[in-house]
Structure 1
Amino acid sequence: MLGVLGLDDTHESAYRALVAVGAADVPDLARRLVLGERDTERALRRLEQNGLAAQSSARPGRWVAAPPGVALGALLTRQRHELEKAELAAALLAEEYRAAAAEPAVHDLVEVVTGAAAVAQRFLQLQLGASDEVCALVTGNPVAVTGMENDAEEQAAGRGVGYRVVVERAVLDLPTGITELTAALGRDEQVRVVDRVPTKLVIADRALALVPLTAHSSEPAALVVHASGLLELLSGLFDSVWRDALPLRLGAAGVSEHGPDGPDGTDLEILSLLLAGLTDASVAKQLDLGLRTVQRRVKRLMELTGVTTRLQLGWHAYERDWVARTG
């Protein structure tokens, strides 16, 4: 618990034990900690450096715990000060970056990343840095990254980042294909399938894209594309493939393909509550869903019906008998 203050488990245990007894000599504290006396003394010296313990002036060889409210408060203040300095440094670096990127040179709009480790790292950074949506085209022949296997995707989805993924049908035949798709659908990601995608592609927040290059050598490589006409072209490519793909759904029989034939049970519940006058936040709480999940589902229903406002969506819902008519 005190690791954030620079104390490891041994130091924290030593301080807790010393606080419990108020004061103790090294042999006594070593027995309580089930540690050797030398290790116990080293731990006490570390606590002394952090102002958490001191040797008794009245009884040499005896150690006294410093009051937690005072000692830990001082450490927390120092930690906050260090964090403030780090935040200021980050803000200054961000400002320098924005200033340098205000008029980027042509060669700064596209980076070439070489090596499997470097490509995988940029793929990780791209997902962890996303705040709104990650779009991906996934082929059945991954080179450096698969697009659906790393913890970053789960972390991003957990933060409310939406995922729209189009996989080519060959992915379903991979040994772990169905397992990964089931996990993605279980995180409420939107997944669609086509016979073949034109290229492997990942786009974060429509601001950054990663395009793995076809490897003619043993070393994988990728292009990192920043905001530019090329990025807009890649975003348009994804949108085109997405429109023509069939949604994958997770049901009792597992993962299956479905045409855009209507909402599922959760969609109908969301629609009914929205039409009853509840806000998105109230609907999310009522159905035990995330707010971003509710908003993504409403957005998908609007795309499905081809409308641009929620009022139009409500009208279509009644016309298509998605919700019960009253009166």
Structure 2
Amino acid sequence: MLDVLGMDATAEVVYREMLAHPQNGVADLMRRLQLTEQAVRTALDTLSELALVRHSPKDPQNYHAVDPHLAAEMLLARQQAELAAQQQRVQEALAAALQLKSEFTQENDRDQLHRLVGVDCVRDYLATLYDKVEGELLTFAPGGAQTAANLCSSRPIAEDLLERGVQMRTVYLDSVRNDPATVAHADWLAARGGRIRTVPSLPNRLIICDKRIAIVAVDPDDTAAGAVVLQTAGVVSSLYALFESFWQSAQPMGATAAPAGAKRLNPQQMEVLRLLSLGYTDEYVAARLGVSARTARRIATKLMEHLGARSRFQTGVHAAARGLIRP
């Protein structure tokens, strides 16, 4: 019963016996409780440590049991002191942990890199980030035609940003020009102040906010795998320059690309030539252009005929030899 106070069963029965018979000495306790002298003296030592017994002022060999009420107050005070000490240790441990975290965070702040794992994590982060955009939002949107779900979910966000005066510039792939839903969405954005251009291919999915935060897909072939958030000024500045480079060479969405049968090759065909010259397969070309493998093969076949080549790779070589692309 009294083990909560720090005494064992033997110490408890000895204490109770001393309270019932204050005049009992060690010998009396041994006889009444059927305990050895060693067991009684060990119990008395325990009780003495707990301040529940004191040596008798008349006879140092005998002990006096402290009044239970006073003893309880003394034990409570001791436990409160122990609790305070424990709390102090916990606070010191917490302070040490916070210091370590602070040091780690400072190191991370210097690197300013944060990993977002999975598409849901990326969406949650972007939902929070878009609320903080103040001036400009730039986007590379590879992958070809956008799904109806993506277009629908992005409209409220885009509308809010544009109403707040945020400048939005987006670069899609040329292949989206063949998708009515994506074209309609682009027209909707343009009507509200958004600016859209297209290029034959894009290196990766990229979002830049206010020239201070960049979000890049960790895997350009699987953008659902997650993304990396970058805030280092030099890195963001380089990515911003990359965006501007693509933007300057991109074609406004409202403009009409040169027809496939024209003498001059259109940007999409030029990009196919460049990729073929590097030895990429039709499947890879299709993924970069955001078109089907069948469309990529059709474009490559027409280019082979146009240049009189016998293979995909030879097509690229002939194009480089004629100065159509850089070797």
TM-score, normalized by the shorter chain, greater than 0.5: no
Which one has the bigger helix percentage? 2
Which one has the bigger strand percentage? 1
- TM-score, reference length from structure 1: 0.41
